[in-house]
């Protein structure tokens, strides 16, 4: 098995996870490639001056890789999608961040989890993505014109609200008067959209959700739509520009821009261990069912 490892930071929470994972893979004599910048960070910060001389490095991925392991939080997991793109490489995350909704493996479970993965004891959860086109065309996102969690439009350099004219399959829906608008996938429904009052959607649902950010009209509520819908957005406001984000990647667009959002032509494969499930993650991470009175 050809394994890629990616991370962005090497902080106190990550040190233990990095050493457990690399030590175990080194002993297993697996074919491991560590992302070049992350490998430099590891070598610079390792307290024990270990020499992982069997490991190689990579700058980009290709279809020869069988697995990508992300070390970090959910933000790092989102960053891995920009490396994998449409290569169909399964992703699994070791959580050294806070919530860990996408990166679910904790330090104490690293060895058993990697053992299960190497033995094929896991299942694949395919996650839909959003893609974006703009008119006029902007080069800010180039070939990274997709998002696993959400595409969000928001105001820039002003305290005034913006108006987001919204069309679904070229039929006018409404103009949201708000701080912005979120279009989220089922995967992203537990992120920014949830914090703005959106619903939780199970990953296997063929839907997207449109969630306004702090709408002035209290009757404006999140709307679930089929993921075959084409969404067109146009912004008006006191400022000439607005912000658009694809997961954590942000750009500034002019108000004349028409933003078209639809389902991406590929999916991301996320590994789930057999003793895990999305519902189990909901209970653990969102503390569903927790009650201090009990």
Q: Which two tokens stand for residue 196?
A: 């703005």
- Beta strands 67-72 and 2-7 are parallel
The answer to whether 237 touches 162, Cβ cutoff 8 Å, is yes
Q: Of these residues, 66, 74, 86, 143, which one is catalytic?
A: 74
Active site residue 280: no
Q: Strands (DSSP E) along 156-240, which ranges?
A: 162-168, 171-178, 180-184, 207-213, 223-226, 231-236
- Minimal CA–CA distance to 132: which of 146, 149, 143? 146
Which residues lie across from 223 on neighbouring strands? 210
The SS3 assignment for 187 reads helix
* Cβ-contact 92, 117 below 8 angstroms: yes
Residues annotated as catalytic (active site), given as ranges: 74
């Amino acid at each position: 098995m050809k394994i890629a490892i990616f991370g962005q930071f090497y902080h106190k929470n990550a040190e233990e996870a990095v050493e457990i994972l690399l030590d175990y893979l080194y002993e297993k004599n697996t074919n491991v490639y560590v992302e070049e910048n992350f490998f430099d960070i590891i070598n610079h910060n390792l307290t024990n001056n270990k020499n992982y001389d069997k490991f190689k490095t990579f700058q980009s991925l290709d279809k020869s890789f069988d697995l990508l392991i992300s070390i970090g939080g959910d933000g790092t997991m989102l960053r891995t999608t920009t490396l994998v793109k449409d290569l169909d490489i399964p992703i699994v995350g070791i959580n050294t961040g806070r919530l860990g909704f996408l990166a679910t493996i904790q330090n104490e479970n690293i060895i058993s989890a990697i053992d299960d993965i190497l033995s094929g004891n896991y299942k694949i959860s395919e996650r839909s993505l959003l893609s974006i086109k703009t008119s006029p065309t902007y080069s800010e996102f180039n070939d990274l014109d997709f998002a696993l969690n959400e595409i969000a439009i928001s105001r820039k350099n002003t305290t005034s609200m913006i108006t987001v004219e919204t069309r679904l399959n070229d039929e006018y829906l409404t103009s949201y008067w708000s701080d912005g608008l979120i279009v989220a996938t089922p995967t992203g429904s537990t992120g920014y959209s949830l914090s703005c009052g959106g619903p939780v959607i199970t990953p296997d649902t063929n839907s997207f959700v449109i969630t306004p950010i702090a709408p002035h009209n209290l009757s404006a509520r999140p709307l679930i739509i089929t993921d075959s819908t084409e969404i067109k957005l146009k912004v008006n406001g006191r400022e000439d520009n607005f912000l658009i984000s694809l997961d954590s990647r942000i750009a500034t667009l002019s108000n004349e821009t028409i933003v078209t959002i639809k389902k991406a032509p590929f999916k991301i494969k996320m590994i789930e261990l057999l003793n895990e499930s999305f519902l189990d993650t909901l209970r653990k991470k969102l503390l569903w069912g927790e009650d201090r009175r009990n």
